[in-house]
Amino acid sequence: MSLRTQSSLDVNEDDLRQISSESTKLVFEYLTTISERQVRAENHAGKTLAAIETELSGDGRPLDQLLAECRTVMDLSRHNGHPRFFGYVASPSTPVGAYADLIASALNANITCWRSGPAGTELERLAVRWLGALIDYDRDAKGLLTSGGSMANMIALLVAQRRKSGVDTSHQGLWNSGPPMTLYASEEVHMSIAKAADILGFGRDHVRVIGCDERQRIRVDLLRQKIEADRREGLRPFCVVGSAGTVNTGVVDPLAELAEVAAEFDLWFHVDGAYGAPGSLDEGKKHLFAGLERADSVSLDPHKWLYVPVDAGCLLFHDADAARVPFSTEDADYIKTHGYADEEAFAFWDYGVELSRRFRALKVWMTLQYYGRRRIAAAISEDIALAAYMGELVSGADDFELLAPVELSICCFRYVSAHSADLDQLNERIMEMVQKGGRAYLSNATVNGKFALRACITNFRTTKADIEETIAAVREAGELLTQRRKGAK
């Protein structure tokens, strides 16, 4: 018997059939029971490891035991696809998206370039084009899929700086490229922008934080003043970032006005639409996104509001050549695409940080094609309508206060009680109680200095009844905590 036969990790056909059918059964069971579960099982640190075998097996363990442990892991997870999960920005994965990920993993293509993953590369370039067209950015958009919005934003800022520095920063480093370069974004911009400025060596202090109007949109007059002041001081403004759906309240900055400012001062214009850009598929919201098409680059996460499983972010450009500059691979002989021309020489490593890359496009492509544009748009419109409905319930109740207008699919509010002097603290405790109770899940935001309960509705399973039950859960927690406080006095 050959050594290879003994050591092969391949399995025989019967075992393969068992792995396939038993794993599929588990997925089926999960997807058909998710709505009946608690959003979050009663849990504490260490509970998962206490419930499974933690010794690494020497000779392997039977599949049925492993799948039983998988079930435990699933049971002890927070169910982001539950119809009353409204925390952060998390959408459920479509079933077809989940299976697409399985197919991609079975194929295990490495989408570094056309040569390594010819079919996957073509699919990714197609998916990128579709995403650009879907949000009316560019019917011929270029770009790449990323791990998420943070990575897309970071690549965008790198490209922006390299395009605007006027010096070969790639070789000479930032310290040889002249006075500090500054970028501009509102105080509501996502934290990944400051983090990217830190990682890329621009420095967090060179992210100029611009104040917002009463709707939490960037103040363009303040932006202009700050750019002019920085220029007078010899600094070099290079980029303005607009938000198309802020993480706290979901507002869209005045993108057309930002495009004007960018053109006037010769700045790169990046739009962070990681969460909100798909909101433009709703006819009633389309006007908010006017000017998006003038951005040099746009981030958009299919794993947020296009219901694709994590991870799937995307960075879009009009001009592929502009995006290529920072990622020259002239020193890396071993990956060069010798003997390939034009389309077949295409390499994603010219556009992003990663060399080895997952086949993310399959789940994006399969989700978009399975449902089609209209059904995806309808799901987004329903999320928007449900957020508006939650806003109406809150506004119409004496014991609630709406803290920000509902612009896309985020509703920020708080419970109010005449018996509580500290509403921030009360609402923080309400959030904790609701999260731990497992009926619904809200996260928080600070809105005009107030602690807000925040519901981000990016969930095709949510119904009006789920919104009503969530409000009821918050009200019950608020009443209980207020009673307890009165009792303690």
Residues forming contacts to ligand PLP in the complex (CB under 6 A) are 89, 148-150, 153, 190, 192, 245, 247, 272, 274-275, 301, 313
Total Cβ atoms within 10 A of residue 191: 10
Q: Which residues contact 344 (CB under 8 A, 6 or more apart)?
A: 114, 115, 118, 337
H-type helices in 188-311, by residue range? Answer: 191-199, 220-232, 255-265, 302-305
Q: Report, in Å, the least distance between residue 367 CB and ligand PLP.
A: 17
Q: Report, in Å, the least distance between residue 241 CB and ligand PLP.
A: 10
- The three-point CA angle 87-92-93 to 5° equals 145
Cβ–Cβ under 8 Å, residues 280 and 380: no
Q: Which lies closer to ligand PLP via its Cβ, residue 80 or residue 169?
A: 80
Q: Report, in Å, the least distance between residue 292 CB and ligand PLP.
A: 14
Q: Which lies closer to ligand PLP via its Cβ, residue 93 or residue 153?
A: 153
**Residue sitting closest to ligand PLP (CB):** 148
Q: Report, in Å, the least distance between residue 364 CB and ligand PLP.
A: 14
Q: Report, in Å, the least distance between residue 193 CB and ligand PLP.
A: 8
- The three-point CA angle 223-225-226 to 5° equals 65
Q: Which lies closer to ligand PLP via its Cβ, residue 115 or residue 195?
A: 195
| Biggest CA-to-CA distance, the chain | 81
DSSP 308: P
Q: Which lies closer to ligand PLP via its Cβ, residue 311 or residue 428?
A: 311
Both structure tokens of 480: 């209980």
Q: Which lies closer to ligand PLP via its Cβ, residue 247 or residue 404?
A: 247
Q: Which lies closer to ligand PLP via its Cβ, residue 153 or residue 182?
A: 153
Q: Report, in Å, the least distance between residue 301 CB and ligand PLP.
A: 5
Q: Report, in Å, the least distance between residue 444 CB and ligand PLP.
A: 14
Cβ–Cβ under 8 Å, residues 478 and 399: yes
Give the C-alpha distances (Å, rounded to integers) separating 79 from 27, 73, 85, 379. 13, 11, 7, 19
Q: Report, in Å, the least distance between residue 322 CB and ligand PLP.
A: 21
For tokens 């890329």, the residue is 200
Q: Which lies closer to ligand PLP via its Cβ, residue 223 or residue 277?
A: 277
Q: Which lies closer to ligand PLP via its Cβ, residue 308 or residue 393?
A: 308
Burial class (CB in 10 A: 0-12, 13-18, 19+), 338: exposed
H-type helices in 189-342, by residue range? Answer: 191-199, 220-232, 255-265, 302-305, 320-324
Parallel, antiparallel, or unpaired for β 450-456 and 443-447? Answer: antiparallel
Q: Which lies closer to ligand PLP via its Cβ, residue 169 or residue 367?
A: 367
- The edge-to-edge listing of strands for the beta sheet with 400-402 is 400-402, 410-415, 450-456, 443-447
**Residue 153: how many CA atoms within 13 Å on its side-chain side?**
27
DSSP 488: H
Q: Report, in Å, the least distance between residue 89 CB and ligand PLP.
A: 4
